[in-house]
Each structure stands twice: as structure tokens, then as C-alpha cells.
Structure 1
Amino acid sequence: MPKVLISRRLPDSVLEAASKMFDMELRDKTAPMTPSEMRSGLALYDAIMPSLGDRFSAEIFAEFGRPRCKLLANFGVGINHIDVDAARAHGVKVTNTPGAVTDATADTAMTLILMSARRAGEGERLVRSGKWEGWHPTQMLGLHVTGKTVGIVGMGRIGQAIARRCHFGFGMEVLFFNRSPKTVEFPARQVDSLHDLAAAVDILVVATPGGAETHHLINADVLAAMQPHAHLVNIARGDVVEEAALITALEGRRIGGAGLDVYEFEPQVPDALRKLDNVTLLPHLGTSTLEVREAMGRMVLDNLAAHFAGKPLPNPV
């Protein structure tokens, strides 16, 4: 049986299926793989299931000609932690799990939109503190979401799922910025300039893939273009947003607030960010439902099974 390394614990149903299909070894840790673990994995296993934080960089592959491992079956749709070109140069294929994550991630975006706009995190902390003095007409006034204008940065599967929820669920006008022209099946208008998009919307949602091309795409200039009442939501990758610039904008009350599920140096979250009341902070909950994680796991197994059977990969990168 092919020897496969699973880098993180998965739902029991997925691990049970994997154990029947492969000579499976589970790395039962929550922290990302270390460089030595990645190098030994490439040498000792026929395939590896990496995930977020397992940084298979060009340096990791550098000491190999053609490693024993011939497939990195990534658990997750984002693959900016894997140098795909370096993997390919060393004879290693890469797959991911698109589709399965779309709705759950879009739901998390809506959670952050509502929590940030309506100051839900701040309100919960007030109640838990025991200092809430009761309802009054000007208590914790936030931003009314229904009927507002949302800007989506990145109109892929997830961006479109967020836009649909905003339009059909909240009657919002949808504007979007995308690197290439995009036609969608619901009312939405593409804007040529990210700066112009930021200036026009009440809520700016980042849904673009991570990687070198989008590093610090949301920078100080984009944040400066946002309206003072507008909110920023990021469910993409942490380094798409220039975190230091966002902290400055929030500290200066230059924007209305922010909702974050990802961070530039995850899992490190700066003290300055954690101290702010005008930002909602979630611990990367984007796809955190049992059903979704099981579906992602099944996609990983499908990619592994196809690879070892010599069949076309369902989800090649």
C-alpha cells in the first residue's frame, strides 16, 4: 500500500477511510510541520497531505533531485504556503480542495460583516464584563447593513458566494474588483480601480487568493481611500492586508471598523490589534464545520486515490 503522511488530525470518518486506503501515518500535532519534518516527509512517504502553515518552500525541495513523495494533496483551497513551481520542478504534483470551502467561507464573511458593523464582539464583551447598564436609544450605535454597498476584492467562487448573500439576503448593491474581466449571474458592477472601489463602498470584503501577487494588496493607500464609516472584512489570507497599516487606520478611527478571520503573521496577532474595540477577531474559522472538513478530507482522499491509480487528478493546481 502507498505510504501517506497526514500532517494534521482530520475528522474521524476521514482518518478511518484513509487508513483503509493507504499505509497512513498521522502526525498528531496542531502546529505546522517543521522544515526537518517536511524534508523527511518528502524522503520517506509516497504522498503527503499538508495544510495551512506547512511551508513547502523552494528551500525545502532544494536538496532533492526527485524525492520519493510525488504528491502534496493539500487540505484547503489556498496553496500559497506551497511553492508549486519548485514542487513541479522536483517531480511533485500539488492538489487542493476547491468547492468544498466556498459556502462555509462565505458564511464566515457574513458573520464578520454583521459582527463588525453591529459591534457584536464589543457588545458581548460589555455584557460579560457586568458593566452593561441596560438599553437606551443611543447605546452602541453601529452601521445598518441592509441596503448598503459592498465591495468584493476577488470575484472567484468565494467572492461570488459572498456577493450573492449580500445582494439577495441584504439588498446590497454589489461592486467588485477582479484582476481579469468577470461576468456574474446576479446584479454586480466591476470597478477597474481598487482605490475607486474602496472609496465607493460601505463594506470592503477581501476574498482574493493569497500569494506574491496579492501581498499587501490592501495597503495604506487603499485604507485611506475608504470612507470613515466603512468596514473592512478579510477572509482571504492574512498578508493580503498590510496589518500595520490597518492597525494605524483603526487606532486613528479613520475607518468604521474591521472583521478579521486571518492575520499576516498567523497565529501571532499583535497586541495593538487585540486591544482595539473596533475590530472583530476570529481564529481562522472560515471552514470550521464538521460537514465541510469532512468534505475537504474526502477531496484529499479522492486526489490521493486518483494519483496512485494513475488517473487524472480531480483537483490539480
Structure 2
Amino acid sequence: MIEVYLSRNQLEGTITKGDHWNLSSHNEYPSYSLSVLDLSHNHLSGTIPKWISILPRLSYLLLNNNEFYGEIPIPFTLEQVKLIVISHNHFSGQLSSVLTSIISTVSYNGYITKDLELVTKTNLYTYKGKPLNSLSGFDFSNNNFSSEIPPQISYKDGMQFLNLSNNKLKGSIPSSFSRLLQIESLDLSQNNLSGTIPSELSSLTFLGSFSVAYNNLSGKCPQVAQFATYRDDDDGGSFIDMESFYASSGVSFVMVLLTIASVLYINPYWRRVWFYYVRITITSCYYFVVDHLPVPVKYKVLELRV
């Protein structure tokens, strides 16, 4: 198997034809076909060449954090794909024709020799070796996809994370997502999704990170299983424990006040400076209010002062 790692360089321009790479055609020696292609975090642009979309042995494709644009080439028929990360680009078009053509149950038997950086559960992790071999998922976030979410994606065997956030996806959340029994992280936030959160998703017992914030969802979050830990939001926003938020904000506010009071008590110089600026501020506010009051009221205030 051939692995190509060119992440975090200063590469620019477009990806050349597959013939120049000498990687796309190995019919006589299929075991030497390209299995890992990592071009992430560069300045590459243009569209994805069609030869990439039909590589027979490609399992890991990382094109994230570049300047690619346009639609994903069709057919996108990767036979052994386990992980595709194309986030933070300018891709557009339909997801249905892409995601439904990369459903596969074939596992990768190789051993990844280099580190791959992936964002899962909203955090950046580095994977390598056996842990990476068992990881499967798609990250299409931060692009311009505008179609509905294809229900067929739920037939991707062993998927552990799916990130479709920060796109323009519309329609409802497919209830067929309940088939993703191994899913651990599901992010559909910042789209144009509508409808309710399917109650069938409560069967996803491994789901540890779930976000549908900033959509047009309605109804209540399923109050069963792990979903009971999320809080309902009338605007279909993120599920935040508001009680904990208010409590932590109150504690922080009190700590700030206590810190200021302690500093003023210990340091006489800062105490004098503090009271000086408080007096100046109060005086400035007083004259600002007086100068902007209606004329009769202003005179009345002045008379009272006399």
C-alpha cells in the first residue's frame, strides 16, 4: 500500500492528474495502490480530480483546510473508504450522490505509519496505528453543501463520527440515523434543518457528543437514555444546561468582586486611585445627565441646587 503525507506545508495550486502521481492505476499490482492521501492544511485550490474519486484502495482521504471548491466528482466510488475529511473548504452541491456512493463494509487491513489529525467530539485529536485503523467517519463541515441529508448514509458500517456542521443543509434529520449504532459524535449544527429530533436516535447508546445548534428545529429533545442530559431549547439552539451556566457565571462574578476588594484592601495606593476614578465617573455621569435633560427639568434641578 502507498501512503502520501503532505499535510501542513505551503503547497499551492491545483492537484495534478493521476498519471503524474503514478498512483491511480495499479491493476496488475493492486496491493500497491494508494491507500492514504493527506493533503490537509495547505493552500491547494481547484476541484477534486476525478481520478481520486475512483481509487480502488483508498481508505483515508484528508483534504481539509484548503481552498478547494466546486462539486464532488461523480461517480465517487471509493471501495474501501473508512475516513473522509474535507472540512474548511468551499465545496458545494448535493450530498446525496456523494455519501450514498461511498457506503462500504470493507475494512482496511494496513497499518498507518504517520499521525493523522482529526476533529472529533469538538476536539482535535491525533490518531496513529491501530486506533486509527478502527476509526471510521466523515467530516464535511464548513463548506457550502445545500442538499438534504441522504438517509442512505446510515448504512455506513461502523461509522463513529459524522460532522456536517456549518453548511446550508435543509430538510429534516433522518430517523434512519438510528442505524449508526457505533456513532460517538454527531454534529449537524449551523445548518437550515427543520422538523423535530427523531426519537429513534435515543437508541444510539455510544453517542457522547451531539449538536444540532443553530438550526430551525422545533419540538422537544427525546427525554430518554443519554438525551435526557441535554436541555430543550425553544429556538432549536444548542442544548445548554442553563442552571449550571447561571451558577458558574454567578460564582465568577463574585470571585471578581472579591479579588478587587482584596487588592484595594491590601494596597492603599490602588485604593486611593480607585476612589478617585469612582468620584470622577460619578461626577461625569451627573453632568452628562443634567446637560441632556429637557430645558424645564434642567432649570428645576438647578433651582434645587441653589
TM-score (normalizing by structure 1): 0.25
Task: Name the structure where helix makes up a greater proportion of residues.
Answer: 1
Larger relative contact order (Cα-Cα within 8 Å, sequence gap ≥ 6): 1
Task: State TM-score, norm by structure 2.
Answer: 0.26
Q: Which protein has the bigger strand share?
A: 2
